[in-house]
Structure 1
Amino acid sequence: MKPYMWSALTVHIHGRRNLDSVKAPFVAVANHSSHVDAPLIFGGLPRRLSKNLSAGAASDYFFQSWYKALPTTLFFNSFPVERQGRGHRRSLAGELLTEGVPLLIFPEGTRSRTGAMARFTPGAAALSISRNVPVLPIALVGAYAAMPYGANVPVPGRPHVHIVFGRPLRAAPGEIAHQFAERIHRYVVEMHDTTARAYGMPTQADFHRAVALRTAAAERGAQSRTEPVAPVLTEPEVQVPRPRLVEAPREAEAG
């Protein structure tokens, strides 16, 4: 998978030094806007961290048919994840961590349709806290433009994508999963936007602004189609009486 991705994309890797102290098991988390995300992370990590990495994949999408489940499991050592976070799936992820298997989880729960990053669900943060393993934050920049939602292959021209590895994080004393997830989210956004600005690429603020503008335009269009058309008021037609012709009396004839 890596040879294909690296030939189809121009890949830049940042933050390699942040990986020096990382050892399995850990929970890698990243923003998710494209089908190239997992291959980029697997290819960007050093072999010692990626060789046993297991990626969480939506069970209702990747595990409903063998032709999707087979390549997902073969290339990414995947385990099924319920988007709603059901208990037995979380238990499976916890067991993998206990066995020393590092995990890759996309905490938005699904790919972004617009490039705008959604809030992180607390599942990955909860696993980090309960199993006492670090979170490895990763920001992917340019992946949405390289292969947006609905595309089957990367766009032509070897578009630039950036993989940014952040510092490993752990929950602070007394920090609950929701709070930790929000802190991870802020850090990933910060890494994304710092890199995007440095290379002239859209920031998360740009993506969210574009979404807001499209939404407002769609709402205005819908409103204009549903508003009743006011009747055209015209002045009533005034019937002007036609003048009557009065015949002049005839003069008496002379005798």
Structure 2
Amino acid sequence: MAAEIEAGNTRYTSKIQATTRQTAQLLLLKPALMRMLRVHVHGANNIDGVEGAFIVFGNHSSHLDAPLILCSLPSRMAKRVATGAAGDFFFGNWLKSASMALFMNGFPIDRGKGGKGKRGMSGQLLSDGVPLLLFPEGTRSRTGAMGPFVPGVASLCISRGVPALPVALVGAYEAWPSKQKHLPKGRPEVHVVFGRPMTPLPGEIAHEFNERMRRQVLQLHDTTARAYGKKTLAEYERKVALDRAHETEIAALAEHAREQADKQEDPQ
């Protein structure tokens, strides 16, 4: 299997492909993104000097997330990054597959829904010196709140000895939430916030490093959100909790009403 994966990795490591991808990102992807959004990048100095393989990760709430991160990274880094994407969604037809390859060096992640991902591909790419862009939540948030991180990214960093580059995306959910069928309108404001590279501590296991990674993204996001008058992840989580409590209360009232109706029909 390793030999099969390695044989198929030429596109991800090719210097010619990287140059083509860099041109496509600079001339097509980035201008299109800047026409749709007002993008502000913070903390770019935190990733100065990062070389070799790494994993850039962040919160995930919009189809804009990967393009936003790639277009905010220095070009020398972005052209080499391979983006993990849902195999069942982005690699189901040739047009999506070709777009993912051209702009984002995409490779399929198998989510167990009939995708085309190959087991072990992320690790092999890192071993080949290819940086990755992965979202530890595994799927887009449907509420704006950040979901739990799956420890796979942390495990890869530990096993392959590569740093994790945290990035927080502020405003991406409002710009293009999952239920919105059209592209963003009115050039909404989005902030891309890079933190300092993170490395596992001596003896730190994947679940512990994973939790540190999640807390770092949360801190980067909410600090920036408060500074610019945006919703914090904590506020999104609070709204989700209130909505669930409201739904539970309505369900309880409905159940109580049914019980009262049953008693009236059957007084015995």
Query: TM-score, structure 2 length as denominator?
Result: 0.81
Counterpart position of 1:53? 81
Are the equivalent residues in 2 in contact too, given 1:8–1:158 (CA < 8 A)? Answer: yes
Q: Which amino acid aligns with 1:36?
A: L
Between Structure 1 and Structure 2, how many residues are aligned? 231
CA-CA distance at 1:90 after TM superposition: 4.9
CA-CA distance at 1:70 after TM superposition: 2.5
Counterpart position of 1:224? 253
User: Percent identity among equivalent residues?
Assistant: 51
Instruction: Say whether residues 1:63 and 2:91 are aligned partners.
Output: yes
Aligned CA RMSD, in angstroms, stands at 1.9
Which residue among 72, 75, 92 is the counterpart of 2:100? 72
Counterpart position of 2:54? 26
Residue by residue over 1:187-237, the C-alpha shift from the partner in whole angstroms, topping out at 9 and shown as x without a partner, is 00000000000011111110001111111222222333343163698xxxx
In terms of fraction of residues, the more helix-rich structure is: 2
Query: TM-score, structure 1 length as denominator?
Result: 0.85
Which residue among 215, 223, 235 is the counterpart of 2:244? 215
Gaps of 5+ in 2: 1-28
Counterpart position of 1:236? none
Q: How does 1:179-194 map to 2 (within 5 A)?
A: 179-194=208-223
Instruction: Say whether residues 1:96 and 2:125 are aligned partners.
Output: yes
Structure-1 separation of matches of 2:98 and 2:254: 47
Are the equivalent residues in 2 in contact too, given 1:24–1:49 (CA < 8 A)? Answer: no
Counterpart position of 2:22? none
Instruction: Say whether residues 1:165 and 2:174 are aligned partners.
Output: no
Counterpart position of 1:40? 68
Counterpart position of 1:116? 145
Instruction: Say whether residues 1:146 and 2:171 are aligned partners.
Output: no
Structure-2 separation of matches of 1:7 and 1:67: 22
Structure 1 residues 222 and 212: CA distance shift in structure 2, 3 A: same
Gaps of 5+ in 1: 234-255
Q: Which amino acid aligns with 2:52?
A: A
Residue by residue over 1:45-98, the C-alpha shift from the partner in whole angstroms, topping out at 9 and shown as x without a partner, is 0111101111000112222333332222222111111236x9x84511111111
Structure-2 separation of matches of 1:152 and 1:43: 23
Structure-2 separation of matches of 1:194 and 1:37: 19
Residue by residue over 1:23-53, the C-alpha shift from the partner in whole angstroms, topping out at 9 and shown as x without a partner, is 1211000100001101101100011110111
Which residue among 77, 98, 109 is the counterpart of 1:81? 109
Runs of 4+ residues over 6 Å off in structure 1: none
Instruction: Say whether residues 1:197 and 2:233 are aligned partners.
Output: no
